[in-house]
Copies of this chain bind each other. A is one copy, B any other.
Amino acid sequence: MSKVEDALKAPSVRSRNPERTRAEILSEAVHEFAEHGFHGARVERITKAAKCNARMIYHYFGGKEQLYLAVLDSVYAQIRNREAQLRFGTADPITEARRLVEFTYDYFAENGDFLKMIRNENLLQGKYIKRSQMIRDMSQPFIAAIGELMERGYSAGVFSRKPDPVQLYVTVVALSAHHLNNAATLGTVVGQDLTDLSWQAERRDHAVEVVLSYLGIQTRG
């Protein structure tokens, strides 16, 4: 190869940096799997985005499946960390109930890839989440905390109900997530743009009102 050709294709070798390369692959894989799902995701797109060679995925992760698993673990680990920061023990039950809804709502709104990964994982019938012990253990404390909050609010006479914590959790998540998971179809069907920020702000208020009024708290009038 001539000196000229050499100069043109310039830095054909990437400087070595295992941590960075691994991290970039993982980060781009989050987007790719979130956006297209496991079957729709393309190894080539990930490597292009990570500006590295396809071989590296096999080097660092073992294959497409293992990479997917690493991505799933990674997005769950992130929300677990955030949840752990929440403590429902401090303020009065009404404030805490509101915090619960707002935290959940905001986390989903701000971390689009999390819901998208979950949507795909459910399409695969939870094939991979079942393999991850880490994820299994994660939300137990969160749900336990909700149970304690319900107990506290009810015995203080502030809540008129003491719902099953799991039902309440599923409801909070449903109210916060469904319009994001189904923005395309719902938006088409109702003729509104659900990705619009003012729509989502309305949705947030609505979600809070629904949960608080279910607990028997007057939010107006």
A138 contact set on B, CB distance < 8 A = 189
Give the segment of A86-94, A150-158, A173-181 that binds chain B.
Answer: A173-181
Query: Which residue, A129, A164, A206, has most C-beta atoms of chain B within 10 A?
Result: A206
A178 contact set on B, CB distance < 8 A = 170, 173-174, 177-178
Interface of A is mostly: helix
A191 contact set on B, CB distance < 8 A = 136, 140
Residue A95, interface by CB 8 Å: no
Give CA–CA (A143, B214) in the complex, Å.
Answer: 23
A39 contact set on B, CB distance < 8 A = 36-37, 39-40
A121-B185 contact in complex given A40-B39, A177-B178, C-beta closer than 8 Å: yes
Q: How many residues of A contact B (CB 8 A)?
A: 59
A171-B129 contact in complex given A136-B188, A185-B118, C-beta closer than 8 Å: no
Q: Please determine whether B118 and A182 come into contact, CB atoms closer than 8 angstroms.
A: yes
A209 contact set on B, CB distance < 8 A = 214
Give CA–CA (A192, B123) in the complex, Å.
Answer: 19
Q: Please determine whether B202 and A167 come into contact, CB atoms closer than 8 angstroms.
A: yes
Give CA–CA (A185, B221) in the complex, Å.
Answer: 39
Give CA–CA (A181, B121) in the complex, Å.
Answer: 10
Q: Please determine whether A188 and B119 come into contact, CB atoms closer than 8 angstroms.
A: no
Residue A213, interface by CB 8 Å: yes
Closest B residue to A160 using CB positions: B221
Q: Please determine whether B122 and A184 come into contact, CB atoms closer than 8 angstroms.
A: yes
Which 4 pairs of residues, A with B, have the shortest CB-CB distance? A126-B184, A174-B178, A39-B39, A39-B40
Interface residues of A (CB under 8 A from B): 36-40, 116, 118-126, 129-130, 135-136, 138-140, 143, 160, 163-164, 166-167, 169-171, 173-175, 177-179, 181-192, 202-203, 206-207, 209-210, 213-214, 216, 221
Instruction: Supply 20 further A-B pairs (C-beta < 8 A) apart from A40-B124, A170-B203.
Output: A37-B123, A116-B123, A121-B184, A121-B185, A122-B182, A122-B185, A126-B184, A130-B184, A139-B189, A164-B202, A167-B203, A169-B190, A170-B179, A171-B175, A173-B178, A173-B182, A174-B178, A177-B178, A210-B214, A213-B214
